Amino acid sequence: MRVATWNVNSLRVRGPQVLDWLAANPVDIIGLQETKLADADFPVADFEAAGYQVLFSGQKTYNGVAVAFRERAFTTRATALPGSDDPQKRVLCVADDDLCFLNLYIPNGSEVGSDKYAYKLDWLNRLQAYVGELRQQYRQLIVVGDFNIAPDDRDVHDPDEWRGKVLFSEPEKQAFRDLTALGLIDCYRLFEQPAADFSWWDYRANGFKRNRGLRIDHILASQALARQCVGCHIDKAPRGLERPSDHAPVVAEFEP
């Protein structure tokens, strides 16, 4: 089983790239973020023609998450954190009898100390409780998405430049550690990885060409699944295409 996560920054713009990528990289499950589409506008037929079923929770203009999958009986279990009436569509939990797949677009936080940063930390706090519940319910749990957190110095092109800033502040990194402390493993770090290997680069100032990036897109797996993980990598190729998303897909492979 191969799974992926990709913040596409508008599925309307990136739809062809996503379908091309899936044709070349036929993963079994992919979580997409920032689709920026109302549900009525989701290109269901395009995914079905490519051999994928799709579940989604979107809104106009902002946010929006989707899960495309093959040969599974996933149904939607949640489109928000429990007890939340948040209009921002950032959560899609799908599951079948064996596996729970939680796709997240965690808030960006804008700037340390801002209202959006407080919203992000509160959101992470509520996520912690929710993932704790899922952990009890599912032996096989995968949590993917745009976390908007670089967990470690290795995940930042210039840690000293970023220290204390949003995406790399201590409370955010602590929230990431708290999630992993629930029994979730960062699949990427199970393996030896290239130095300066990132999943996001700013569009501005030639961020990608200069490799001024961050690793903020993650695939976490419960221990039972992590034991079966045989590889995890970031596919930088789509970031080099014309009109790319600012994020690259991350892929993890599991063997029974």
Partner DNA sequence: ATGGCGGCTGAGAGCCGA
Tell which one of 155, 172, 186, 246 touches DNA (CB under 7 A). Answer: 246
What does the H/E/C string look like for 157-181? CCHHHHCCCCCCCHHHHHHHHHHHH
153 touches DNA (CB under 7 A): no
13 touches DNA (CB under 7 A): yes
Q: Residue 12 or 163: which CB sits closer to DNA?
A: 12
SS3 126: helix
CB atoms within 10 A of CB 236: 18
Helices (H), 69-169: 115-137, 159-162
Max Cα separation, the chain? 47
The one catalytic residue in 105, 117, 138, 188 is 105
Cβ 43 to DNA shortest distance, Å: 12
Q: Residue 162 or 253: which CB sits closer to DNA?
A: 162
* 148 labelled binding-site residue: yes
Alpha-carbon dihedral sign for residues 141, 147, 149, 155: positive
Question: Is 105 designated active site?
Answer: yes
Which string of x and - marks every residue 117-146 that binds DNA (by CB under 7 A)?
-----------------------------x
Site for DNA in 19-48 (CB under 7 A): 34, 36
211 touches DNA (CB under 7 A): no
Q: Residue 66 or 167: which CB sits closer to DNA?
A: 167
SS3 146: strand
The one catalytic residue in 117, 138, 146, 186 is 146
Question: Is 52 designated active site?
Answer: no
Cβ 145 to DNA shortest distance, Å: 10
Tell me whether residue 137 is exposed, middle or buried, using C-beta atoms within 10 angstroms of its C-beta: 0 to 12, 13 to 18, 19 or more.
Answer: exposed
Contact yes or no for 246/212 (Cβ under 8 A): no
Tell me whether residue 162 is exposed, middle or buried, using C-beta atoms within 10 angstroms of its C-beta: 0 to 12, 13 to 18, 19 or more.
Answer: middle
DSSP 116: H
SS3 36: coil
Alpha-carbon gap, residue 115 to 228, rounded angstroms: 40
Alpha-carbon dihedral sign for residues 160, 162, 163, 168: negative
Site for DNA in 88-107 (CB under 7 A): 107
243 touches DNA (CB under 7 A): yes
67 touches DNA (CB under 7 A): no
The one catalytic residue in 52, 130, 186, 247 is 247
Q: Residue 204 or 256: which CB sits closer to DNA?
A: 204
Binding site for Mg(2+), by residue number, is 7, 34, 146, 148, 246-247
Interacting residues toward DNA by CB under 7 A: 7, 9-10, 12-13, 34, 36, 60-62, 107-108, 110-111, 116, 146, 148, 166-167, 200, 202-205, 214, 216, 243, 246-247
Binding residues: 7, 34, 146, 148, 246-247
Q: Which active-site residues does the annotation give?
A: 105, 146, 247
